[in-house]
Structure formats: C-alpha cells, structure tokens
Amino acid sequence: MISLFTYTFFNHALLTAILGSISCGLIGSYIVTRRLVFITGGITHASFGGLGIGYFLGISPLVGAAVFGGLSAFGVQYLSSKQKLRVDSAIAMAWSFGMAVGIIFIFLTPGYAPNLMSYLFGSILTVSVSDLIVMLVLAGISTFIFITFKRSIQLISFDEPFARSQGIKVDVFNYILILLIALTAVIYIRVAGIILVLSLLTVPQNLAIMITRNYNKILLFSILFGFVGTIAGLLLSYFLDIPSGAAIIFSLISEYFIGWCIIKLGSLTKVKPS
Amino acid sequence: MMILKLENISYGYKAKTVINSVNLEIHSGDFIAMIGPNGGGKSTIIKLIMGLLKPWSGKLSYGVRENGEAVNIGYLPQYHEFDKRFPISVNDVVLSGLASVKKGRRNYSRLDKSRARELLVRMGISELSHESIGELSGGQMQRAFLGRAMISQPDLLILDEPITYVDNKFEHEMYHLLQEINNNTAILLVSHDIGQISSFVKTIACVNHSLHYHPSNKISKDILESYNCPIELITHGKIPHRVLHNHTAHD
C-alpha cells in the first residue's frame, strides 16, 4: 500500500481529495442548510453546455463549463429573486438547456471526444498539476469566505428577512455564494463527474448534521467525512479496479449509512445524546 | 430622546400607493400600538423604518444617543416559515441579534455571551439554550426571537404581529414581558387584532393607508370610525373588546 505513494497520479488524487473535501465540505454545508441542492444539480448539468462549447472551440472544456455554470447560476438567482419565474422552473430550464447545448456542440465537433466519459463520470486519477492549482485557489477562497463571513452566511441561510433587517448585504452574499457553488461543482466534475458530483456536496454534510447541530462542527465534520469517503473510494477503485467516481460516491453513501446505524444504535442505548 | 421621526412618508408598490404622507415620532418610553386592517400598510411602515424599503417621498430620520451613537432598533419580524431543522441553537439565535452591531465579523465577547444567558433567563427559556431552534414550541420560539431582538439593547423594539401564531397563555405572558421591557425601551407593536392590547399600550397609531396618531390608549368605536379604521368593537364598561371573526385553525 505504501508503494501507492510512489505514483504521481496517486499523490495528485490524494491532494485532490484534501482540497475537494475542504471546498465541497464548506460550500456543501451552505447548499444543504439553505436547501439549494436542486439549484446545484441544475447548475452542474447546465455546465455541460459549456463543456460542449469548449470541445467545439478547442479550448479547455472546464473553462467553458465554468463560464456556462457561472452564467446559469446568476441567471437562476436573478430570475428567482425578481420573481419573474418560479425557482424550480428556472432550474429545470437551465438544466435541460445546458445539456442540450452540450450535446449539440459535441455532435458538431469533428472526431471522437476522448475525455467525455471522464467528465460525465469523473476520474480523480487523471488530475493534472494545473487542475490542482485551480483547486488550491478555490479551497483558499472558500476557506477565507467561510472563516470571515461564517456568521452572516449562517444568519442569511436561517432567516433571510431578519438578516436583511440587520443591514447584511444579502443579495451580494447570494450572488457570491451561488458563483462559488457553480465553480466548486464544475471543478469537482473532474473528480466525480457531472452526474455524481452532487454527492460530494450533500452526503458528508447530511452525515455531519445528523451528528451535530453546531454550525462550526458541521463545517469541520463535512470536510472530514468528505475526505474519509473520498480516500476510501479511491482505495476501493484501485484495489477492485472499478471507476473512481462511482467508487467514491459508493463509499460516501456507505459512510452515511454506517454513521446512521451507529447513531441509531447509540440512541437505543443512551437516554438522550447531548 | 427622539428615536425616530417619519415626515410625510409615502410609499407604494408599482403604481399603487400603500401609505400616503405618514407622520410619526417615537420617543424614549413610548409604547405604541400600530393597528389597522390587513393590507393597510402597517408592515410597509415597519419595513421602511428598518431600511428594507426606500420611501418614495418624505423624510425618515433617526435620533442620536447622548453619547453620540446612532440609536439601535430591535426587530421581531412577522412570523414566517423557516426550516425547522436548521442547525442553529437557541443561544446562537439570540446572539445573532448582534449582527448589525458586529457587522457579522467580530467574535462574540464574554459580555455578549453573558447578556445572551441573562436574556434567556428573562425569557424563561434558559434550560433550552443548547437545543436546536426547531425543537421549540411556537411560544418558546417567539421568546427566542424576542431575545434576539433585545440582545443589542435597542432603544426601540419593533414587533410585527408577535402573537398571531401563539397560544393565549403565551400572549398574556408576552404582554407582561413587554411591559417590563418598556421600562428601558420604547416599543412599537404592530397588530391587526386590538383585543387585549389597549390596557398595556400607552398610545395608538391607526394605519389605513394614512396614519392617525391617538395619544391615549382608550379606543372607542367613535374614534376608530372617525379615523376610518374598519375594526369592529363592542364596549363592556371601559375595556373595549373586538368582535371576533370566524375562528381559524390557529385561534
């Protein structure tokens, strides 16, 4: 097992797991507590449009996906805040439109799109140094935002009207955080793929919330559980020779289920957990 | 001390004027009930005061304390749905009332925390301080939100329909709490239901698109009619009572 660390790809995967757990753990806690899971799913899938355009133009598909994801995030946020359209309808439109654009442009691109499968299902073992740099920057930004503005973020998520009455710039936070959601989702498409990335942003957080109602601890536990699940999946994928994205999601859900069982057993033996 | 002054404030949504040329002054020690029919503009006035809406015309000015600081306003918003499973403890809910003072950044001081503890005792929910907010009953939750409104030691406490979704027992306790709070803090209490209010408040502002200030807590049918306040009353002796409409599930 030690010999694994002699492989560059494995070290990259390990760093990805660390950085991904931080980014996804933090923004995922916001997504889960503010009930933005469906919006996140919409943005992630909409970014497929940018991916397709990226292929067609011969630029980095992830750059295309980030631009498209960011724009659809702003679009959904704008439409829903101005109440021109019901939020869930706006999400459904962005979701399917992005997928349609992606399919059209990949179809129009001559030849076979070689890495397409890795974007749909993820591949943590092909992460490059430049990917790692982007992930490091994003993890830094997320950490800064959550350390500095944790309390405002918590208050906005809990009670937006009251947060506004306290002079908190709710709209600014809404736009910055939805952009952060879009960027995080798009970058970690690399790890878990468009279809599975939602798990990284929701499963560790829900396990953390099951254990504690303390916001600080939820942030920390989400990072921890995300890391454990990703590493377990990585090893599972290596030893069983199965796709890493699917293995990671499988181990995250298993982790959640094990946690749930432990808590159920614990509450049977204890009178009241504090 | 003058806390708040509204001069000829008008506001509306799209082309529809909701409040027209409203004047109101609030001073230390005041306990004003703002009454009037639904849709008459009560909540709009509150939102203007809290800076959530900008008036179309008129002037809104805030007072200054003796030490030169701006006055501070505590706010208990109208009941609204929130995620009952949101991970926040009662203690943190109360502390979050410091957001406007702290700008959401600095950490809570030891004084803040002891003030929160004190308030939880005063509100009668100190044993619940580490519970999640969603575990509380309607009345307990409203006490927590009252604590949140009070922790910044406001000069003025604004309550928007605080008793709509709570039981009679809590309604009674709430008024006693407010009377005690009124010793140090001016209160503006918004309600569409003037049932019990009159014996606790000092003055009444009737809002029905315009605002009529009545410098007494005695309401009679004549007064309300002359101010165009369509609230039905019958009078038993000196205490006015409202003729209740059909009960809803919450009553």
Contact between B105 and A164 using a beta-carbon 8 Å cutoff: no
Structure tokens that stand for B162 in this block: 């605080």
- Tally Cβ neighbours within 10 Å of residue A273: 9
- The residue whose two tokens read 């109440």 is A83
Contact between B83 and A209 using a beta-carbon 8 Å cutoff: no
Q: Is the pLDDT of residue B57 over 60?
A: yes
Q: Mean pLDDT for chain A?
A: 89
Q: Give this complex's ipTM.
A: 0.80
Which chain B residue lies closest to A162 (C-alpha atoms)? B77
CA distance B130 to chain A (A): 9
Which residue in B52, B85, B89 is closest to A164 by CB distance? B52
| H or E element, residue A148 | helix A129-158
Q: Dihedrals φ, ψ of A161, to 5°?
A: -60, -40
Which residue in A149, A164, A213 is closest to B89 by CB distance? A213
Is A35's Cβ below 8 Å from some Cβ in B?
Answer: yes
Which residue in A148, A215, A274 is closest to B105 by CB distance? A148
Structural contact between residues A170 and A160, judged by C-beta atoms closer than 8 angstroms: yes
Contacts of B82 in chain A (CB under 8 A): 158-159
Contacts of B80 in chain A (CB under 8 A): 161
Q: Which amino acid is at A235?
A: L
How far is the C-alpha of B241 from the C-alpha of B251, rounded, in Å? 16
Q: Is the pLDDT of residue B198 over 80?
A: no
Is B96's Cβ below 8 Å from some Cβ in A?
Answer: yes
Which chain B residue lies closest to A145 (C-alpha atoms)? B105
| H or E element, residue A127 | none
Task: State the pLDDT at residue B238.
Answer: 43
pTM: 0.85
Q: Which of B242, B213, B240, B243 is nearest to B227 (CA)?
A: B213
| H or E element, residue B7 | strand B2-13
Contact between A151 and B96 using a beta-carbon 8 Å cutoff: yes
How far is the C-alpha of A94 from the C-alpha of A46, rounded, in Å? 6
Is B75's Cβ below 8 Å from some Cβ in A?
Answer: yes
How far is the C-alpha of B219 from the C-alpha of B226, rounded, in Å? 11
How far is the C-alpha of B248 from the C-alpha of B123, rounded, in Å? 28
> Per-residue pLDDT tens for A111-162?
776 667 778 888 888 888 888 999 999 999 999 999 999 989 999 999 988 9
> Per-residue pLDDT tens for B169-184?
777 788 888 888 999 9
- The residue whose two tokens read 């505590």 is B74
Distance of CA A226 to the CA centre of its chain: 11
- What dihedral angle (degrees, nearest 10) is formed by the CA atoms of A13, A19, A25, A31? -100
Q: Mean pLDDT for chain B?
A: 80
Contacts of B62 in chain A (CB under 8 A): none
